[in-house]
A and B are shown apart, each in its own frame.
Chain A
Amino acid sequence: MPAEQMGQISPRLRLIFVVTSVLFLLALAISPIRDFRKEWKRYKRAYLRFVQTRPDTKRLLADYRPQINQIWLPDLAVVDRCTTCHLGITQPTLLDASVPQPFRAHPSIPHPVSQWGCTACHRGQGAATEATEAHETTLAWEQPLLPVHFIQASCGTCHRANLPETPQLDRGRALLVQLNCVGCHRLRDVERPQMLGPDLTSIGTKVSRQWIYKWLKEPRSVTDLNGNVTVNGYMTGGLPRMPQFRLTEQELRDLSGYLSTLQSKPVKPYHFDPRALAGGKGDPADQGELRFRQMFCSTCHALSVTRAGTTSLIGGDIGPELTKIGSKVNPDWLAAWLRDPQDYLPHSKMPRYQWSDADLYSVTQYITKRLTDSDLLNGVPSLAAPTGDEVERGRRLFIDKGCASCHAIQGIPVQRDLGPDLSAIGARDVSQLSFGESKIPRNLIAYLQAKITDPLSVNTAARMPVYRLAPEDLDALTAALLSMTGAPATAGLQKLVVSQSPSEFHPAGEFGRVYERYKCYVCHQFKGFGGTLAPDLSYEGSRAQRQWLIGFLKDPKTVRPMLVLRMPQFNMTDQEAATLANYIGAALNSPDVGTGATDGKQFTPDRAAMGKQLYEGKYACQSCHTIGATGGYVGPNLNNAGNWLTPAWIEAWLRNPQALVPDTIEPRRAFTEDEIQALTAYLLTLRVSGKQGGATQVARAENASPESEGRR
Chain B
Amino acid sequence: MKKSAFLVLVSLLAGFAFGCKARKSEFPADPLRQAYDSEADWSDPQRIVSLSYDQAQGKRIFYTQCVWCHADATPAGPSNRSNLNPMPALMNDGTVMNKESDEYLQNIITLGGSALSRSAMMPPYGQVLTQHEIQQVIAYARAIAQPRYQPPASPGPKYTAR
Contact A164 to B60, CB < 8 A, known contacts A30-B17, A33-B17, A50-B161: yes
In the bound complex, CA of A137 to CA of B9 (Å): 33
Partner of A147, one of B13, B33, B57, B121: B33
Give the tally of cross-chain contacts (CB within 8 A).
135
Query: What residues of B have a CB within 8 angstroms of the CB of A19 in the complex?
Result: 6
**Does B152 reach chain A (CB closer than 8 Å)?**
no
With a 10 A CB-CB cut-off, give which of A23, A107, A148, A670 has the most chain B CB atoms.
A107
How many residues from B make CB contacts under 8 Å with A? 53
Residues 630 to 683 of chain A near chain B (Cβ within 8 Å): 631-634, 658, 663, 665, 667-670
**Does B157 reach chain A (CB closer than 8 Å)?**
yes
In the bound complex, CA of A475 to CA of B35 (Å): 12
Evaluate contact between A634 and B69: CB separation under 8 angstroms. Answer: yes
Partner of B154, one of A33, A98, A632, A634: A98
Contact A623 to B162, CB < 8 A, known contacts A618-B114, A667-B127: no
**Does A151 reach chain B (CB closer than 8 Å)?**
yes
Partner of A633, one of B53, B64, B78, B128: B78
Query: What residues of A have a CB within 8 angstroms of the CB of B125 in the complex?
Result: 667
**Does B150 reach chain A (CB closer than 8 Å)?**
no
Partner of A100, one of B80, B127, B128, B160: B160
**Does A438 reach chain B (CB closer than 8 Å)?**
no
Evaluate contact between A667 and B124: CB separation under 8 angstroms. Answer: yes
Contact A618 to B161, CB < 8 A, known contacts A19-B6, A26-B10, A665-B65: no
Partner of B26, one of A101, A137, A633, A704: A137
Evaluate contact between A149 and B159: CB separation under 8 angstroms. Answer: no
Contact A108 to B34, CB < 8 A, known contacts A147-B27, A624-B80: no
Query: What residues of B have a CB within 8 angstroms of the CB of A27 in the complex?
Result: 13
**Does A132 reach chain B (CB closer than 8 Å)?**
yes
Query: What residues of A have a CB within 8 angstroms of the CB of B148 in the complex?
Result: none
Residues 401 to 449 of chain A near chain B (Cβ within 8 Å): 441-443
Contact A26 to B13, CB < 8 A, known contacts A53-B157, A149-B34, A562-B77: yes
Residue of B nearest to A705 (CB): B77
Evaluate contact between B155 and A55: CB separation under 8 angstroms. Answer: yes
Evaluate contact between A619 and B120: CB separation under 8 angstroms. Answer: yes
In the bound complex, CA of A101 to CA of B162 (Å): 10
- The B interface is mostly helix, strand or loop, or mixed, namely loop
Contact with B along A678-707 (1 / 0, CB 8 A): 000000000000000000000000001111
With a 10 A CB-CB cut-off, give which of B16, B17, B52, B83 has the most chain A CB atoms.
B83
Contact A667 to B128, CB < 8 A, known contacts A165-B60, A562-B76: yes
Evaluate contact between A658 and B128: CB separation under 8 angstroms. Answer: yes
Contact A668 to B52, CB < 8 A, known contacts A33-B17, A103-B161, A441-B26: no
Contact with A along B136-162 (1 / 0, CB 8 A): 000000000000000000111111111
In the bound complex, CA of A706 to CA of B76 (Å): 10
**Does B84 reach chain A (CB closer than 8 Å)?**
yes
Q: Within the complex, what minimum Cβ distance (angstroms) separates B127 from chain A?
A: 4
Query: What residues of B have a CB within 8 angstroms of the CB of A137 in the complex?
Result: 26
Evaluate contact between A620 and B127: CB separation under 8 angstroms. Answer: no
Residue of A nearest to B121 (CB): A623
Q: Within the complex, what minimum Cβ distance (angstroms) separates B153 from chain A?
A: 11
Q: Within the complex, what minimum Cβ distance (angstroms) separates B103 from chain A?
A: 16
Evaluate contact between B65 and A562: CB separation under 8 angstroms. Answer: no
Evaluate contact between A107 and B53: CB separation under 8 angstroms. Answer: yes
Query: What residues of A have a CB within 8 angstroms of the CB of B161 in the complex?
Result: 43, 46-47, 50, 100-103
Query: What residues of B have a CB within 8 angstroms of the CB of A53 in the complex?
Result: 156-157, 159
**Does B68 reach chain A (CB closer than 8 Å)?**
yes
Query: What residues of A have a CB within 8 angstroms of the CB of B154 in the complex?
Result: 96, 98
Interface size bracket, A side: 35 or more
Q: Within the complex, what minimum Cβ distance (angstroms) separates A428 from chain B?
A: 16
In the bound complex, CA of A620 to CA of B80 (Å): 14
Q: Within the complex, what minimum Cβ distance (angstroms) separates B79 from chain A?
A: 8
Evaluate contact between B17 and A34: CB separation under 8 angstroms. Answer: yes
**Does B104 reach chain A (CB closer than 8 Å)?**
no
- The A interface is mostly helix, strand or loop, or mixed, namely loop
Q: Within the complex, what minimum Cβ distance (angstroms) separates B37 from chain A?
A: 7
**Does B98 reach chain A (CB closer than 8 Å)?**
no
**Does B28 reach chain A (CB closer than 8 Å)?**
yes
Evaluate contact between B60 and A563: CB separation under 8 angstroms. Answer: no
Q: Within the complex, what minimum Cβ distance (angstroms) separates B69 from chain A?
A: 7
In the bound complex, CA of A27 to CA of B16 (Å): 11
Contact with B along A93-117 (1 / 0, CB 8 A): 0001110111100011100000000
Q: Within the complex, what minimum Cβ distance (angstroms) separates A299 from chain B?
A: 14
**Does B119 reach chain A (CB closer than 8 Å)?**
yes
Residue of B nearest to A618 (CB): B120
Partner of B23, one of A26, A103, A132, A564: A132
Q: Within the complex, what minimum Cβ distance (angstroms) separates A48 from chain B?
A: 11
Q: Within the complex, what minimum Cβ distance (angstroms) separates A344 from chain B?
A: 34
Contact with A along B73-96 (1 / 0, CB 8 A): 010111010011000000000000
Q: Within the complex, what minimum Cβ distance (angstroms) separates B97 from chain A?
A: 19
Partner of A149, one of B9, B33, B60, B120: B33
**Does A326 reach chain B (CB closer than 8 Å)?**
no
Contact with A along B1-38 (1 / 0, CB 8 A): 00000100110010011100001011110001111110
Q: Within the complex, what minimum Cβ distance (angstroms) separates B11 from chain A?
A: 12
Residue of A nearest to B119 (CB): A620
Query: What residues of B have a CB within 8 angstroms of the CB of A631 in the complex?
Result: 83
Evaluate contact between B13 and A667: CB separation under 8 angstroms. Answer: no
**Does A167 reach chain B (CB closer than 8 Å)?**
yes
Q: Within the complex, what minimum Cβ distance (angstroms) separates A595 from chain B?
A: 26
In the bound complex, CA of A623 to CA of B157 (Å): 46
Query: What residues of A have a CB within 8 angstroms of the CB of B41 in the complex?
Result: none
Evaluate contact between A34 and B80: CB separation under 8 angstroms. Answer: no
Residue of B nearest to A144 (CB): B26
**Does A617 reach chain B (CB closer than 8 Å)?**
yes
Query: What residues of A have a CB within 8 angstroms of the CB of B127 in the complex?
Result: 667-670
With a 10 A CB-CB cut-off, give which of A151, A631, A633 has the most chain B CB atoms.
A633
Give 12 A-B contacts (CB < 8 Å), ordered by A residue.
A26-B13, A53-B159, A55-B155, A103-B161, A149-B36, A164-B60, A620-B123, A632-B80, A632-B83, A658-B128, A667-B124, A668-B127
10 additional contacts, CB 8 Å, given A563-B76, A633-B68?
A30-B16, A33-B17, A34-B18, A96-B154, A107-B54, A148-B35, A149-B33, A164-B60, A618-B120, A667-B123
**Chain A residues within 8 Å of B, Cβ to Cβ:** 19, 23, 26-27, 30, 33-34, 37, 43, 46-47, 50, 53-55, 96-98, 100-103, 107-109, 132, 136-137, 144, 147-149, 151, 164-165, 167-168, 441-443, 475, 562-564, 617-620, 623-624, 631-634, 658, 663, 665, 667-670, 704-707
